[in-house]
Amino acid sequence: MELKPWQLRMVQRSLKKKEKIDLIERRIPVGPNDVLLDLGCAQGILSYFLRRKGGTWVSTDLDFINVRSSQALLGRNFVQMGEQALPFKDRAFDQVVCLDYLEHVDDDDLTLREIRRVLKDGGRLVLVTPHTGKFFLLQKLRPRVGLKLEFYGHKREGYGRRDLETKCAKAGLRIVAHKTYSRFFTEFLELVLNAVYINLLSKKPQAKLRDGHIRPTTADEFSSQSQAFKLYTFVYPLVWLISRLDKLLFFMRGNAIMVWAETAEEDHP
């Protein structure tokens, strides 16, 4: 029997990404005639689930390695972009989906302005970033276990909801809804897994990727970790069970935030 692509095999054992995929499938509506931009496609894992919803997708990333990995999974409609302006015409898209990208760029205000530029009047933005604040203690723990921001490819820890509202408003976008996810147990387990990969398994490659290097980013890297992945697959049911304790913490804010934003015709210059 033919094995699934490495990206899909990896996401089957993910905690945080599975929560994100659930939100994608339940909370991101896509019309059959929509033209959509997948901004920051990374290795194509989330792009795979986005494209299954229909519409016409264009995926883009800063890194050629990411674009190549995504293209091997998804086939076509990929563009490698530069650091500044998005390589698309004004009002080109009905919706932009920007998952785990904004915290990776130097000029996040420029990125939001560019998103507004390529959105059609009345278009929609779905944005996911890490969720930060005074009481997010696990974010303070990361550097103590060797997880520097650079290993995630982050330029900043993340954003609070009000930070995102302010930045979006400056760019001509209005947040209409938000939801947090990845509460304490999921986030803690992800931190442990990332620390193991960075400190014990990763070869610390010289090439710096836009989205860091806290997991395998190519088929060859995934193959080189096959024994570790088999071991993790064996213990995954227990890891997953521990993560379900988050249901007891329904009153807590999650460590990641998804926001939905809209723009109106009069907002466009």
Sign of CA dihedral 262, 16, 163, 106: negative
pLDDT at 266: 54
For residue 153, what are the CA distances in angstroms to 150, 156, 171, 224, 229? 5, 9, 24, 22, 23
Is there a contact between 157 and 141 (Cβ–Cβ < 8 Å)? no
The predicted pLDDT at position 1 comes to 44
Residue type, 101: Y
pLDDT tens, residue order, the chain (269 aa): 456 899 999 999 999 999 999 999 999 999 999 999 999 999 999 999 999 999 999 999 988 888 888 888 998 899 988 877 899 999 999 999 999 999 999 999 999 999 999 999 999 999 999 999 888 888 888 888 888 888 888 899 999 999 999 999 999 999 999 999 999 999 999 999 999 998 888 766 555 777 777 888 888 889 999 999 999 999 999 999 999 999 999 999 999 999 999 986 555 44
Q: Contact 49/39 with Cβ under 8 angstroms?
A: no
pLDDT for 72 equals: 87
pTM of the model as a whole: 0.91
How much is the pLDDT for 269? Answer: 45
Crossing angle of helices 16-27/184-196, nearest 10°?
130
The rounded distance, in Å, linking the Cα atoms of 181 and 235 is 23
The full set of domains in the chain, from first to last, is 6-267 (3.40.50.150)
Q: What is the pLDDT of residues 153-203, one digit of tens each?
A: 889 999 999 999 999 999 999 999 999 999 999 999 999 999 999 888 876
**Residue 88 to residue 78: CA distance in whole angstroms:** 12
Alpha helices in the chain (DSSP H): 6-11, 16-27, 45-51, 64-74, 108-118, 137-141, 149-152, 161-170, 184-196, 219-224, 226-243
Q: What is the pLDDT of residue 268?
A: 46
pLDDT at 184: 96
- For the chain, give the number of residues: 269
State residue 201's pLDDT score.
83
What pLDDT sits at residue 146? 82
